[in-house]
Structure 1
Amino acid sequence: MTGEHRYLLDNARAEAGTRFAALSAIFDPPTFRRIGELGIRAGWRCWEVGAGGPSVPRWLAERVGPTGRVLATDIDVSWTLEAASPVVEVRRHDVARDEPPAETFDLVHARLVLVHLADRERALRSMVAALRPGGRLLLEDADPALQPLSAPYESGPRERLANRIRIGFRAMLAERGADLAYGRRLPALLRAAGLADVAAEAYFPIASPACDLLETATIAHIREGLVTGGHATEEDVDRHLANIADGGMDLATAPMISAWGRAEEK
């Protein structure tokens, strides 16, 4: 993505690895539970869209076994390559611009991808088109507008500073084309795409070491933009990072909406 739709949290920065580790700790358990409930089994063919880190492709590979296949794609596969194996193919691919894979899949999954894309509609069409009859699509995206605060219990100056910086972060995301209320639209979008058995749930993590780690890595990643954009001073950022390191704050991430549906049998 370029221009106003450039991804704010790109994979090229050193902080990306820490962010992927924190996101995995926070979101892998509900993601894996949901995929398990969708019926994943040996022999399935899976497409992991915008894979980022290696944790989800590796887990999928363990479930589908040597008779299955996992295609893990991203516009930057630097971190995804760690998951490459005889079962996992890692491929550079832009779901919003490139044609979908020629093959079809039993499961297509994307987590925290569509909210950041300029052409979300094309990306969604591409994923739906890649489903084989009866295949499942699982989309998981943040909805920061549902709960916009970093510290939902604003009990003192540390929490007020955290929330002021979160407001700046949200403004930076919006400036780059992110839809901060996208997650809640997922069920309707899946129904409109013709999928059956559509359902959804929300997951709202709060107050964990992984939330602190994610906040620290994210703020380090966007620090320059926060300051140059007038959202915070260098002193603000230093104080916020020190407050996190001291512990005792209940920091939240944005709620994640998981929505799923099934391609009709033909």
Structure 2
Amino acid sequence: MPSDSVPVSAPRFVDRPCYFRAVTDYEADQRHGKGYLLDNQQAEAGERFAALAELFDPVTFRRLRALGVADGWSCWEVGAGGPSVPGWLAERVGEKGRVLATDLDTSWMPQAGAPYEVVRHDVGADEAPEGPFDLVHARLVLVHVPQREAALRAMVRALRPGGWLLVEDADPALQPLACPDEYGPEQELANRIRRGFRALLAERGAQLAFGRTLPRLLRTAGLVDVEAEAYFPITSPVGSALEAATVRQISDRLIEGGLATAEEIEEHLAHIGAGHLDTATAPLISAWGRKPSE
């Protein structure tokens, strides 16, 4: 497991055998159509990470600042995906702090030169990394993890007394439409393709009404001072970029499942490219709570 004795300022990429089982299972699931729908191996994953960072990083960073992340903190970024959040945390905690970024697939994480640790890890199956942590954060992760409640409990156990857990997850069932203003055939097509996307997510074990449950789950896990808020972008260029990258990434699955034709997908992408659609994302629910001091 990662050691606190390693200087935080040193570039590190950790690739330890104890995590190989989870990654092997993950890759096997992807090959057999059972794993994470939006896997990191596809080229569009980088486009999605960039769009998600532009959309949601300001929300995440505002909340992390409000929680008091500061010099010397030890932080675990769960399911980091890309480098934007662990990079921000590393700047915030400084050389006296520690940032551990974990994911099932670390393909899009720096393998050298990063001021944080990178570890392959399955939060739904593997033991929590060595802590304790002042902060544990996960964004758009647990909604896709079948063992999500067990994963959340493991994250709570990894906190030091008084430490904060911040979980941010989507609630597609709360607002299921790509175009809430469905006034024409272009918007109707967009919403039909979004319904197909939701169906594929549900087949892979995603809980589409998960975001709204976070305050209750945090309290049930023993946290105090629990609060939550939602962010719901209606339309923006980056939202359109996210929609296009997502649809391209799942296009084969949509076609295989009879949820859309290749022609419909191309038509939808052309509408996005022409700027004809106000594409919304599912609400992002941010919930946070503190582990009681002993």
1:57 aligns with 2:86: yes
- The two structures have a TM-score, normalised by structure 2, of 0.88
What residue number does 1:234 align with? 262
Q: Which among 223, 247, 250 is matched to residue 222 of structure 1? A: 250
Give 1:204 shift: 0.4
Q: In structure 2, how many angstroms separate the alpha carbons of the residues matched to 1:83 and 1:37? A: 30
- Alignment of structure 1 residues 1-266 onto 2, 5 Å: 1=26, 2=29, 5-81=34-110, 85=114, 87-266=115-294
What are the ranges of 5 or more consecutive residues in structure 2 without an aligned counterpart? 1-25
1:58/1:83 contact within 8 Å kept: no
Going from structure 1 to structure 2, the CA distance change for 1:83 and 1:251 (only over 3 Å counts) comes to: farther
Question: Residues 101-141 of structure 1: CA distance to partner in whole angstroms, max 9, x if unpaired?
Answer: 12210000000000001111221111001000100000000
CA distance in 2: counterparts of 1:224 and 1:181, whole angstroms: 25
In structure 2, do the counterparts of structure 1 residues 97 and 146 end up closer, same or farther at CA, with 3 Å as the change threshold?
A: same
State the SS of the aligned residue for 1:184.
helix
User: C-alpha displacement at 1:82, in angstroms?
Assistant: 5.9
- CA shift at 1:83, angstroms? 8.0
Separation (CA, whole Å) in 1 of partners of 2:269 and 2:104: 30
Decide whether the 8 Å contact of 1:195 with 1:263 is kept in 2: yes
| Residue of structure 1 equivalent to 2:8 | none
Cα deviation, residue 248, structure 1: 3.0
Distance 1:71 1:78, change over 3 A: same
Which deviations, in whole Å up to 9, do the C-alpha atoms of 1:192-241 show, x marking residues without a partner? Answer: 00001000001101211110000010000000010110111111000000
Relative distance call for 1:4 and 1:221 in structure 2 (3 A) is closer
Structure 1 residues 125 and 83, CA gap change in structure 2 (3 angstroms):
farther
Tell me the distance in 2 between the aligned counterparts of 1:134 and 1:44. 12
Equivalent-residue separation in structure 1 for 2:267 and 2:111 (angstroms): 35
Tell me the number of residue pairs that the alignment of Structure 1 and Structure 2 aligns. Answer: 265
